[in-house]
Structure 1
Amino acid sequence: MSDGLVYELNGVSLPHDDAIITPQVAAALKRGNYERPEVLATPKFLEPEDRVLELGAGIGYISSYVAKVIGVAHVTCVEANPMLADYIRRMHEMQGLSNTSVKNCVAVPGGAKLAPEKEVDFYIREPFWSSSLDEGRDVVSVARIPQEYLSDLIREADATALIVDIEGGERDIFQGGDLGTVRKIYVELHTRYIRPKGIKACFDALSEQGFYYDQRVSHGGVVLFRKL
């Protein structure tokens, strides 16, 4: 439920919604440090001509920021949580954006075999950022979500840049497939989920496809890879 409250942060307006804006998120928005590493980093590697594919779009703040403030050509948001996907659409409409689109689906590695029904169980938790494909604990609900190959999503979006925050899915998402037109990949590494072996698997997969670690933009667990 929204009470008419709107947060303003770095040129982006975010409507309050009790189901989406948790007290923790609200506090970060009020402090002005919500997704701060991404806000500081994205202007350093995104250009107006870039077409961005964002995996794990959350509440739509970063997509709104890069579409509205940086002014990239287009942003395609991929978000598995149906409630968040709906909120992102509202977010983009509030900004008056015409250079964005939202897909409620799960991206899977290009070389993976999809289930016959082409859907997967997505486990929704509170807070929303704990939701994932892993059954685990503290599940609030389960949604059946369409799967799409990452290579297909890249081709459809004509993406030149990826922004990836998928709660451990980064371990496998770059395995196989074709990264096509993508030249920049900004990914958050969730060490608590994927552990050192998963980090190595992520780096190895991208290295095999010709990407290198850009230390000038990378910071802590958020890493930029560029195509050689």
Structure 2
Amino acid sequence: MTPPPDAGAERVFEINGVSLGLPEGLANASIIDKLADGSYEADEARAVDRCVRPGLRVLELGAGLGYVGTLAALKSEPENILSVEANPELLPVIRANHARNGVEEVSLMHGAVVGHAEEGATARFHIAGGFTGSRLGARGGRQVEVPLIGFHELIRAQRPHVVLMDVEGAEAGYFDRAWKCPLRFCVMEIHPKQYDAAVIKKIVDRMSAMDMTYDPVTSRGKILGFRKVWSEGV
């Protein structure tokens, strides 16, 4: 069982003008190397640069260290950003990094986002070593109980123009019906090891039904981006 990180010591990294504090023991060597060379969440950062503009509301699912949410807040306004993170150990790190970069007004919500959740529902959440790869449904390792958040209720409340998600396979449950929001861009990391091609087709078909099309600028590898198809004259 991996012990929780030591909150008493941290390293600080600078990426794209964002300062990120990392508590000792929280991340594995691979993440630390990417933080050091500036490649940490590079595709997600590129997506923020492409998609986020002043005044746009952003929903971020899977906040990590708070890097992408900070970038989005600096491009729009902090009060327009809602970040959701399931791993409770990351919450104080995210808040500290938001404050470190002057975007403490970003809304941060704790919970695992699923397609549908009853009020007060919880589930066991697996915390992976190095924090990336933590997810619902995995067996073994360190497990914590986390609140469940219904995706469509979250969409209706935030009404985002931009949705950014990295939720380790949970995205498969978000595409059962149309999203009630003024969506312009959606960028997600897909997880084909956790579901088959039929689920990816369902994601693409749902996006198409919502007048969203493949965005080659934000897509790369497992990062799949979509943008709104605007009607003529809009």
Q: Sort the TM-score into its range (normalised by shorter chain).
A: 0.7 to 0.9
Q: Tell me the distance in 2 between the aligned counterparts of 1:213 and 1:121.
A: 34
1:47 match: 53
1:128 match: 131
Q: Is the 8 A contact 1:172 1:202 kept in 2?
A: no
1:150 match: 151
Matches within 5 A, 1:51-66: 51-66=57-72
Q: Tell me the distance in 1 between the aligned counterparts of 2:217 and 2:182.
A: 22
Confirm or deny that 1:87 pairs with 2:75: no
Cα distance, 1:116 vs structure 2: 6.6
AA at the equivalent of 2:209: E
Moved more, 93-102 or 116-125: 116-125
Confirm or deny that 1:17 pairs with 2:23: yes
Q: Tell me the distance in 1 between the aligned counterparts of 2:143 and 2:97.
A: 24
AA at the equivalent of 1:6: V
Identity of aligned residues (%): 29
Q: Is the 8 A contact 1:154 1:181 kept in 2?
A: no
Q: Tell me the distance in 2 between the aligned counterparts of 1:103 and 1:44.
A: 25
AA at the equivalent of 2:179: D
1:213 match: 214
Does the residue aligned with 1:219 lie in a helix, a strand or coil?
coil
Count of paired positions: 222
Q: Tell me the distance in 1 between the aligned counterparts of 2:44 and 2:94.
A: 17
Cα distance, 1:219 vs structure 2: 1.9
Moved more, 154-163 or 54-63: 154-163
Structure 2: gaps (5+ residues): 1-5, 230-234
Structure 1: gaps (5+ residues): none
Task: State the Cα RMSD in Å.
Answer: 2.0
Cα distance, 1:105 vs structure 2: 0.9
Confirm or deny that 1:96 pairs with 2:102: yes
**Deviation per CA, 1:9-54, whole angstroms, max 9, x where unpaired?**
1111111212323222111111111111122232122111111100
2:179 match: 178
Cα distance, 1:115 vs structure 2: 4.6
Structure-2 change in CA distance of 1:212 and 1:162 (3 Å): same
